């Protein structure tokens, strides 16, 4: 056992990569939930994004087009959820679960001819001078562009929610859809856009796994990350910057436990693997004191009939 073998700089750099798919999917779901909709289909949208991004990248040779396709794929799948919950007014929990089931199946069908194919590399940032700096170089200046995009997206969502009229309307819809409707806002339209944004983000997160983090296509490769993203939104108490923090914490625990194992520390792996979930529950309990955090209309069906 030798803890000095763990290089904290590299640890931070690799946990940032590990956290990115989670972060992308979670920030999308945060917007969806802020609008008062609970979409449990994140896993399904992620895996659709993973295969769309992978297939298009392989076909066109461009990772940029691939990521674009992934966002589009996730958004298109989320339209099914829109159709069910916003048009047909079906229960959101059941619809989300059905979406995951459908997405996992569909992605496997779409990906049949892409098993064992190696995708083109995703370019990484390399600024001579900056990328070579000790400590800050590996952490700040030597990742792929999508990782920076994820962080920028967090900032953007935060700014939009906090400072703009759009953000205000979105929150109003999520807090009290009847009041928002009475004020003349198009509740359904706003929710549809939010859900599609969530789908696009989940798709990007999925493509990050199949194009950058792994990179390959295999059936079911998201392996539950979409579910963790759901937990993360709650952990972050619907606050964008806490999503970033939470994603690094969740990603960090996995990377850290692998690091400890490799350094020869005898740790009970199962118990460490449980810890993010237990911490989330604890955070939930602490947050419960603050009743304002969860959008009040979360998961409730809206129909403008009165």
Partner 1 sequence: MIVLEKRPQPSQAWSLATPLVAVLATMFFGGLLFAALGKNPVEAIMTIFWEPLFGEFSFYYRPQLLVKGAPLVLIAIGLSLGFKAGIWNIGAEGQYIMGAIVGAGVGLAFYPLEAWYIFPLMVIGGALGGWAWAMIPAFLKVRFGTNEILVSLMLVYVAEQMLASVSLGLLKNPEGFGFPGSRNFQSYASAYNADLIEGSGMHWGVVAAFIAVIFAYVLLNRHMLGFHIRLTGEAPRAARFAGVNPARLILFCLGLSGALAGLAGLFEVSGPSGQVSIDFNVGYGFTAIIVAFLGRLHPVGILLAGSLMALTYIGGEIAQSEMGLPAAAIQVFQGMLLFFLLAFDLLTNYRLRLALKEVA
Partner 2 sequence: MKFTTLLATAAMTLGMATAGIAQDKTKVGFVYVGPVGDGGWTYEHDKGRQAVEAEFGDQVETVFVESVPEGPDSERVMTQMALDGADLIFTTSFGYMDPTINVAKKFPKVKFEHATGYKTAPNVSVYSARFYEGRAVQGHIAGKMTKSNIIGYIGSYPIPEVIRGINSAYIHAKKVNPDVEFKIVWAYTWFDPAKEADAATVLIEQGADVILQHTDSTAPQAAAQDAGNVITFGQASDMSEYAPMPRVSSIIDDWAPYYIARTKAVMDGTWETANTWDGIGPGMVKIGEISDAVPTDVKEEALAMKAAIADGSYHPFTGPLKKQDGSDWLAEGEVADDGTLAGMNFYVEGLEGEIPQ
144: β partners: 124
| 270 binds partner 1 per the rule CB under 8 A | yes
Contacts of 286 (CB under 8 A, 6+ apart): none
Instruction: Give the chain's largest Cα–Cα span.
Output: 68
Segment interacting with partner 1 (CB under 8 A) among 48-56, 143-151, 188-196, 282-290: 282-290
Give residue for tokens 């763990």.
6
Gap between the Cα atoms of 30 and 11, Å rounded = 27
Phi, psi dihedral angles at 121 (to 5 degrees): -70, 145
| 37 binds partner 2 per the rule CB under 8 A | no
CB 180 within 8 A of CB 169: yes
Segment interacting with partner 2 (CB under 8 A) among 69-77, 80-88, 230-238, 268-276: 268-276
3-state secondary structure of 280: helix
Nearer to partner 2, 83 or 267 (CB): 267
Q: How far apart are the first and last CA of the chain?
A: 68
| 93 binds partner 2 per the rule CB under 8 A | no
Residues that bind partner 2 (CB under 8 A): 5-7, 10-11, 14, 17-18, 21, 108, 111-112, 115-118, 209, 213-216, 218-223, 225, 254-255, 258-259, 261-264, 266, 268-270, 273
Residues that bind partner 1 (CB under 8 A): 38, 40, 80, 83-84, 88-91, 93-95, 97-99, 101-109, 112, 219, 224, 227, 230-231, 234, 268, 270-271, 273-274, 277-278, 280-281, 284-285, 287-289, 291, 294, 299, 303-305
């Amino acid at each position: 056992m030798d803890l000095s073998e763990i290089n904290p700089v590299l640890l931070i750099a690799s946990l940032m990569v590990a956290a990115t798919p989670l972060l992308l999917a979670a920030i999308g779901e945060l917007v969806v939930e802020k609008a008062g909709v609970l979409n449990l289909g994140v896993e399904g949208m992620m895996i659709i994004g993973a295969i769309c991004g992978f297939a298009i990248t392989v076909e066109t040779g461009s990772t940029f087009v691939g990521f674009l396709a992934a966002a589009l794929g996730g958004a298109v799948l989320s339209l099914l959820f829109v159709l069910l919950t916003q048009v047909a007014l079906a229960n959101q929990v059941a619809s989300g679960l059905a979406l995951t089931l459908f997405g996992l199946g569909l992605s496997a069908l779409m990906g049949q001819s892409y098993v064992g194919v190696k995708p083109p590399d995703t370019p990484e940032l390399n600024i001579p001078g900056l990328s070579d700096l000790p400590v800050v170089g590996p952490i700040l200046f030597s990742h792929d562009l999508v990782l920076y995009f994820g962080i920028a997206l967090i900032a953007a969502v935060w700014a939009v929610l906090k400072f703009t009229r759009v953000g205000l309307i979105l929150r109003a819809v999520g807090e009290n859809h009847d009041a928002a409707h009475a004020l003349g806002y198009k509740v359904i339209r706003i929710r549809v856009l939010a859900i599609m944004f969530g789908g696009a983000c989940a798709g990007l997160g999925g493509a990050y796994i199949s194009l950058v983090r792994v990179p390959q296509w295999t059936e079911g490769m998201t392996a539950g990350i979409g579910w963790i993203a759901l937990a993360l939104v709650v952990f972050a108490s619907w606050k964008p910057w806490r999503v970033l923090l939470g994603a690094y914490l969740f990603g960090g625990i996995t990377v850290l436990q692998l690091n400890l194992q490799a350094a020869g520390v005898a740790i009970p792996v199962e118990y460490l693997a449980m810890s993010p979930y237990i911490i989330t529950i604890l955070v939930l309990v602490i947050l419960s004191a603050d009743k304002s955090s969860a959008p009040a209309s979360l998961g409730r069906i809206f129909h403008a009939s009165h």
